[in-house]
Structure 1
Amino acid sequence: MEHLISGEAHDPHALLGAHPAGAGTVIRTLRRGAGDVAVVVDDVAYPATRVHPEGIFEAEVPGAVVDYRIRVDGVVYDDPYRHLPTVGELDLHLLAEGRHERLWMMLGARSREGGAAFAVWAPNARGVRVVGDFTGWGAHDGWPMRSLGSSGVWEIFVPGAQPGQRYKYRILGADGGWRDKADPMATRAEVPPATASVIHRSDYQWGDQQWLDRRVGGAPHQQPVSIYEVHLGSWRPGLGYRELADQLAEYVQELGFTHVELLPVMEHPFGGSWGYQVTGYYAPTARFGDPDDFRAFVDRLHAAGIGVLLDWVPAHFPRDEWALARFDGTALYEHDDPRRGEHPDWGTLVFNYGRAEVRNFLVANALYWFDEFHIDGLRVDAVASMLYLDYSREDGQWLPNIHGGRENLDAMSLLQEVNATVYKHHPGVLMVAEESTAWPGVTRPTDHDGLGFGFKWNMGWMHDTLDYLSKDPVHRQYHHNQLTFSTVYAWSEHYILPISHDEVVHGKGSLVGKMPGDSWRQLATTRALLAFMWAHPGKQLLFMGCELADPQEWSEQRGLDWGLRHDPARAGMGRLVRDLNHAYRDTSALWTRDTEPDGFRWIIGDDAAHNTIGFQRAGQDGSALICVVNFAATPFEGYRVGLPWEGAWRELLNTDAAEYGGSNVGNFGQVYAEPVPWQGLPASAVMTLPPLGALWLQPA
């Protein structure tokens, strides 16, 4: 009894509950603070005697009894200690192997008829209690949980625990200290800054089966993918998931994007981290509603024909003492050695990717968002920090792998398993890596020794292009290779071209603010950039607010400046993004052969003196699109451009059009290709190139 009261009992059910005693049954119960306690069997009450001053009561009843209730000061309750374990042997076996793909169905708080089952992995704990609204939150409250052998899992069924009630695990650590911990597997959390977990049972009825059926047969590499990146808290502040769904779906439909990508929606305590310091990997943030509200958000976007991608952060987690850090008094989820277990840049902890249960936690978490929320893809954050043991570390601050190298073999294995598992269960989705180095085979299949991602962010294209455009046009001729170098490696991986939130914060300025010159030149250069980006091999991603030509860099503390949509000088940017997206979706040459070198041909690649480039995109159906971009501040008249066919070519798009805020320099909507060979092509046309402008041409 002292062992139980002190919190160190590994099997409270061995003492509490019903136990044979000769011809009868002894029933013990833990009821701290109770006065009058009785055991009720078949409506007969048997008075219980206090056998320990801290609130253990005992009664002997005749016969063999398994079904009973406890009456406490006149109120009848069910007893947690009359219930069998809620976790099966197969579950424990799969967890030990790191192969339980639906881990959330085993661990966490699972609402059931009559109560809730709780299970938590804490192998080094000396004792675990579950505390909550159903027990009280005092220092001595909580139901002691039983340990299921060497699995490290502690479990209990708590009668009467209801959805919406808060809870935590009170853990007596291996170091002798007590900690109240949020549930690592909680599917719902309190609204920050509160930190408790919340019991949740979903009753949401999905309406997107047709969307999911179509997705199965999809091949994203050969389909149009243009992504609108969103931070939910600052897109339109004050809205919940359901309101955001309606307004965002309408807006994204208007702009023509195929997908939205959300900065992490997993629960995080510090809003200023934008979601990148996650504490609740299985819980959508409560800032905007409950998990079913988020299900409705995804469902609404699917109804509008828009896919939903989520940022996912398996690279690190924060040190908050109530969360994953030193969960059972030991380095459980993280490495104990700081040379492997800490991030010097971010002050956070690194998962122990080599531990089977930790790997299982992350693989199942990736699958969870697809299974439970019908999402269409994950963009995995900071992959480079996972892959390199010496990432942001000096000599002596990191440990090599077993071969003496700097590659994190455990992280490689984890990423391969995540991708293979997701694609096995959900073909047609997008798994995307933010990987900023030249690590080979990021998008190569796992059975060919690749990491198995579907796409990789093309950080090289983004850095080179933005650096080129930051220079005054008179100096760009000396940096022309920054525009063309991306095609040297454009087909080494399956790429997404990102202009993301990272490029418009922390003093980097807004997208238009990066461009030199007066406001007109800044806007014109940005329009030309977007047309170049949409025509370049690869899919594209644009962060919210860039389409508004916002002159201020983004801050999560303020919403977007929607008034810019009515600013005559800037409203054209949104119209251009809309037209780019719709033209892109209607032009198969821009996406059916995205991953094939034969789908691209340079026409003008070496005209550095004019800051001009031109190229052809070719579709599987033999269609073509020509993109010509003049990044000089002056127009060029009489400029001959090689074309693959004679005849009329129409200006599908001109970023200098007046409706976009341009000077309306162009070719009156059409050019005519003569049988004059030029630039290696059999025909050519003389045309006018607008200043800081881009043209898209198609056969008329």
Structure 2
Amino acid sequence: MHATLTQADRTRLLAGEHHDPHALLGAHPAPGGTLVRVLRPLARRVTVRGAELAPEGDGLFSAVLPPGPAADPRPQVTWPDGTRSRAHDPYRFLPALGDVDLHLISEGRHERLWEALGARPMTHQGVTGTRFTVWAPNARGVRVAADFNGWDGTGFPMRSLGASGVWELFVPGVGPGTRYKYDVCRADGTHALRADPLALATECPPATASVVHRSDYAWGDAEWLDRRAARPAHAAPMSVYEVHLPSWRPGLDYRGLAEQLPAYVRDLGFTHVELMPPAEHPFGGSWGYQVTGYYAPTARLGTPDDFKFLVDSLHQAGIGVLMDWVPAHFPKDEWALAAFDGTPCYEHPDPRRAEHPDWGTLEFDFGRREVRNFLVANAVFWCEEYHIDGLRVDAVASMLYLDYSREEGAWLPNAEGGRENWDAVAFLQEMNATVYRRCPGVLTVAEESTAWDGVTRATEHGGLGFGFKWNMGWMHDSLRYMSKDPVHRGWHHGDMTFSMVYAYSENYVLPISHDEVVHGKRALVSKMPGDWWRQRADLRAYLAFMWSHPGKQLLFMGQEFAQGAEWSEETGPQWWVLDPGYVAAGDHAGVRRLVRDLNTGYRATPALWERDTEPDGFSWVEADAARDNVFAFLRFASDGSPLLVVCHFSPVARHGYRVGVPPVAGAWREALNTDAAAYGGSGVTTAAPVPASATPSHGREASLVLTLPPLATVWLRPA
């Protein structure tokens, strides 16, 4: 007679609370042969190698099989309706996860974590199937519930792999496309169905299951990847078009976007796109900033391979791809990361550190090595698996400060009694150092709105290690200036010059992002004062000022053609204003034409980008003409060739305006004038070259006498 299960083991196994179901199920040596026990809920009859197993109740069947010649080891199951099936038993397999993987996971140093955790189709011990692995350190038990078992995980308990906190089960015959979740038995004995934190694909929201995925995509962007690391990003042109993929052209999926977006962006001359968070998120109205599937592109627009096709298409069009990445917080959905195994796993155990007061979300526990590994590996994942060229890290300030948006007494100081979150600092440094080490040519950008020192300083010198930082100060100051009527702008002149006081303290991106054109802030052109003509003229002058200022540029979709309404994720940009039948179509087309020419001129003018991080690459000519609303400055390329920029934010033309210039031989010619008729301006331009005279001005040996168009920015270079 074979040994029977103890009542304790039986109870734990059937309740999904057993840490080692493989010790109870499968084939094991026994007196007289081999003990075979299987768990097949609802089965009527089970046979193995022609021998019928005895029912033990609750779906358990067992028998001791005598020694004999090798035969088909797959149990054959007869179901209540009389149908039969035959499949390998999951409990005859050794663990499909190696000791090195477990060691790296335990140490929080597995830089390709997605290859160790999650659902991975594979061949194991000669059998094809899928290995399911999940980190749930405080779970009493974990089972796989999926479409192949009717979402009843009773027959598929996973085994604990010791102190690593990882649970594992290899399920033969399961492949790509399978929908699944983990049935987690929490510390209090209750059960919860949880999506896989490392799922590579998901169901389309509002459905929440994870999906087994194996990529078959063949990339065609090798030339792009080889080229992108050839020149440091700081010394290369970079102008970014920010896109919300679901609403750019509502109705287009990833493949449809690949047919239209690269051509549109290339025509406008942007060097990069920045995608608002593409990772899976349950609520579309969050725009992707409340992520539940950190390793899966949103299924709203297609499959993971479809998303790869979009990135590949952009690369082959010569366009880099940045994406918004959200490691600061995650939503509380009960099927996702929050209290994953019934205890705080991904969030901080102290509510004062876990609750994010602004967004009703949870903050990651950056001091826990497994959580830090989850996020660092995720940053690497998008760069290596999806060939992403850069990560714009969202809400960095909320990570750096323990008292961020918290009232006095509602936050926990650090060990020194301060407000700095040193765990988050260490995480950001590790993330940046790892990405830059592993992914040549990839850059990281911080959305950081405070005066934290060293955001873009190298980690070996104590900095956070980002490549760039969003210049929120420039954005707020310059938009405040532009919102004033020209008669009042003189009192706010410093708003436009102050950015140069700190311009070289970090490596900056100048952002006019989606955040500036929603929630009552109005579209960019609508922020400008006056009538429609003045609004457009101000916008054109402002955009040229932005493209001229040290730093890279980012512009949100729809603003390139001066749409008048705020952005809506439901309707997207107001493309209809460009239709020839619309009365103001020419006005909008003129602004878009200017943006195209700004990008073209910018890329062709090294003075505007080659020395962005060098103070000697910029020099004020006129910074104090507050009464005239005039700003003039020079940009210099590495070979010393200059570009003169004159911004005039008054609605009248100024004749005979003298501006100092370097003693360059010959005349100067307009390279760009935002008042040109082609852009919808009044046409006050200087077609002929302007001779430089030996008359000193603005502390320079030579000068030009110019006519300044109304509400316009002019670029001039030596003819």
Match of 1:570 in 2: 588
| Residues 1:166 and 2:185 are matched in the alignment | no
| Residues 1:68 and 2:87 are matched in the alignment | no
Select which of 87, 107, 117 maps to 2:131.
117
Select which of 695, 709, 712 maps to 1:676.
695
The answer to whether the Cα contact below 8 Å between 2:135 and 2:165 also exists between their aligned partners in 1 is yes
Select which of 541, 548, 552 maps to 1:535.
548
The answer to whether the Cα contact below 8 Å between 1:455 and 1:494 also exists between their aligned partners in 2 is yes
Select which of 508, 515, 527 maps to 1:514.
527
| Residues 1:223 and 2:236 are matched in the alignment | yes
Match of 1:503 in 2: 516
The answer to whether the Cα contact below 8 Å between 1:18 and 1:66 also exists between their aligned partners in 2 is no
Match of 1:636 in 2: 654
Q: Any idea what the Cα deviations from partners look like across 1:158-184, whole Å, max 9, x if unmatched?
A: 111121110000001012221000000
| Residues 1:11 and 2:20 are matched in the alignment | yes
- What does 1:395-544 align with in structure 2 at a 5 Å threshold? 395-544=408-557
CA distance in 2, matches of 1:94, 1:514: 52
CA distance in 1, matches of 2:546, 2:77: 70
Residue 647 of structure 1, CA deviation: 2.0
Select which of 589, 592, 617 maps to 1:599.
617
Q: Measured at CA, do residues 79 and 640 of structure 1 come closer, stay the same or move farther in structure 2, by a change above 3 Å?
A: same
Match of 1:97 in 2: 107
- What does 1:74-153 align with in structure 2 at a 5 Å threshold? 74-113=84-123, 114-138=128-152, 141-153=154-166
The answer to whether the Cα contact below 8 Å between 1:267 and 1:281 also exists between their aligned partners in 2 is yes
Match of 2:35 in 1: 26
CA distance in 2, matches of 1:641, 1:676: 10
Q: Which runs of 5+ in 2 are unaligned?
A: 1-9, 79-83, 580-584
Secondary structure of the equivalent of 2:586? coil
CA distance in 1, matches of 2:514, 2:616: 32
Residue 669 of structure 1, CA deviation: 4.7
CA distance in 1, matches of 2:155, 2:60: 14
Match of 1:309 in 2: 322
Give the AA of the match of 1:487: M
Secondary structure of the equivalent of 1:363? helix
CA distance in 2, matches of 1:213, 1:6: 54
CA distance in 1, matches of 2:163, 2:241: 47
Give the AA of the match of 1:6: A
| Residues 1:276 and 2:267 are matched in the alignment | no
Q: Any idea what the Cα deviations from partners look like across 1:247-287, whole Å, max 9, x if unmatched?
A: 00000000000000000000000000000000000000001
Greater displacement, 204-213 / 261-270: 204-213
The answer to whether the Cα contact below 8 Å between 1:29 and 1:58 also exists between their aligned partners in 2 is yes
Match of 2:5 in 1: none
The answer to whether the Cα contact below 8 Å between 1:646 and 1:672 also exists between their aligned partners in 2 is no
CA distance in 2, matches of 1:521, 1:175: 66
Residue 88 of structure 1, CA deviation: 1.0
Select which of 688, 691, 695 maps to 2:707.
688
Match of 2:603 in 1: 585
Residue 670 of structure 1, CA deviation: 2.9
Match of 1:655 in 2: 674
The answer to whether the Cα contact below 8 Å between 2:660 and 2:701 also exists between their aligned partners in 1 is yes
CA distance in 2, matches of 1:142, 1:36: 15
Residue 360 of structure 1, CA deviation: 0.3
Q: Any idea what the Cα deviations from partners look like across 1:123-149, whole Å, max 9, x if unmatched?
A: 1000100011111114x6451000001
CA distance in 1, matches of 2:458, 2:487: 44
The answer to whether the Cα contact below 8 Å between 2:24 and 2:37 also exists between their aligned partners in 1 is yes
Q: Any idea what the Cα deviations from partners look like across 1:419-454, whole Å, max 9, x if unmatched?
A: 000000112211000000010000000000000000
CA distance in 2, matches of 1:201, 1:243: 22
The answer to whether the Cα contact below 8 Å between 2:323 and 2:391 also exists between their aligned partners in 1 is yes
CA distance in 2, matches of 1:516, 1:239: 35
The answer to whether the Cα contact below 8 Å between 2:16 and 2:154 also exists between their aligned partners in 1 is no
The answer to whether the Cα contact below 8 Å between 2:15 and 2:154 also exists between their aligned partners in 1 is no
Q: Measured at CA, do residues 207 and 28 of structure 1 come closer, stay the same or move farther in structure 2, by a change above 3 Å?
A: same
CA distance in 2, matches of 1:67, 1:607: 90
Q: Measured at CA, do residues 16 and 581 of structure 1 come closer, stay the same or move farther in structure 2, by a change above 3 Å?
A: same
Give the AA of the match of 1:61: L
CA distance in 2, matches of 1:232, 1:513: 24
Residue 6 of structure 1, CA deviation: 1.3
The answer to whether the Cα contact below 8 Å between 2:41 and 2:155 also exists between their aligned partners in 1 is no
Residue 76 of structure 1, CA deviation: 1.1
Give the AA of the match of 2:61: F
Give the AA of the match of 1:49: A
Match of 1:178 in 2: 191
Match of 1:623 in 2: 641
| Residues 1:50 and 2:60 are matched in the alignment | no
Greater displacement, 265-274 / 564-573: 564-573
Residue 152 of structure 1, CA deviation: 0.6
CA distance in 2, matches of 1:94, 1:504: 44
Residue 559 of structure 1, CA deviation: 2.3
Residue 23 of structure 1, CA deviation: 4.1
CA distance in 2, matches of 1:66, 1:247: 57
Residue 190 of structure 1, CA deviation: 0.4
Match of 2:307 in 1: 294
Q: Which runs of 5+ in 1 are unaligned?
A: none
The answer to whether the Cα contact below 8 Å between 1:548 and 1:574 also exists between their aligned partners in 2 is yes
The answer to whether the Cα contact below 8 Å between 1:339 and 1:398 also exists between their aligned partners in 2 is yes
Greater displacement, 194-203 / 77-86: 77-86
CA distance in 2, matches of 1:124, 1:561: 51
The answer to whether the Cα contact below 8 Å between 1:134 and 1:160 also exists between their aligned partners in 2 is no
The answer to whether the Cα contact below 8 Å between 2:40 and 2:155 also exists between their aligned partners in 1 is no
Residue 59 of structure 1, CA deviation: 2.0
Give the AA of the match of 1:119: T
CA distance in 1, matches of 2:596, 2:85: 65
Report runs of 4+ in structure 1 exceeding 6 Å deviation. 64-67
CA distance in 1, matches of 2:626, 2:444: 37
**What's the TM-score once normalised by structure 1's chain length?**
0.98
CA distance in 2, matches of 1:569, 1:374: 38
Secondary structure of the equivalent of 1:475? helix
The answer to whether the Cα contact below 8 Å between 1:443 and 1:456 also exists between their aligned partners in 2 is yes
Q: Any idea what the Cα deviations from partners look like across 1:4-30, whole Å, max 9, x if unmatched?
A: 001110000000001001241011100
Q: Measured at CA, do residues 376 and 337 of structure 1 come closer, stay the same or move farther in structure 2, by a change above 3 Å?
A: same
Greater displacement, 97-106 / 14-23: 14-23
The answer to whether the Cα contact below 8 Å between 1:132 and 1:168 also exists between their aligned partners in 2 is yes
CA distance in 2, matches of 1:50, 1:595: 75
Secondary structure of the equivalent of 1:568? helix
Instruction: Give percent identity, aligned residues only.
Output: 65
RMSD: 1.1
Select which of 531, 556, 565 maps to 1:552.
565
Q: Would you say how many aligned residue pairs link Structure 1 and Structure 2?
A: 694
Residue 216 of structure 1, CA deviation: 2.6
Residue 648 of structure 1, CA deviation: 1.2
Greater displacement, 428-437 / 59-68: 59-68
Give the AA of the match of 1:659: A
Match of 2:385 in 1: 372
CA distance in 1, matches of 2:202, 2:387: 20
The answer to whether the Cα contact below 8 Å between 1:646 and 1:683 also exists between their aligned partners in 2 is no
CA distance in 1, matches of 2:110, 2:243: 32
CA distance in 2, matches of 1:463, 1:190: 40
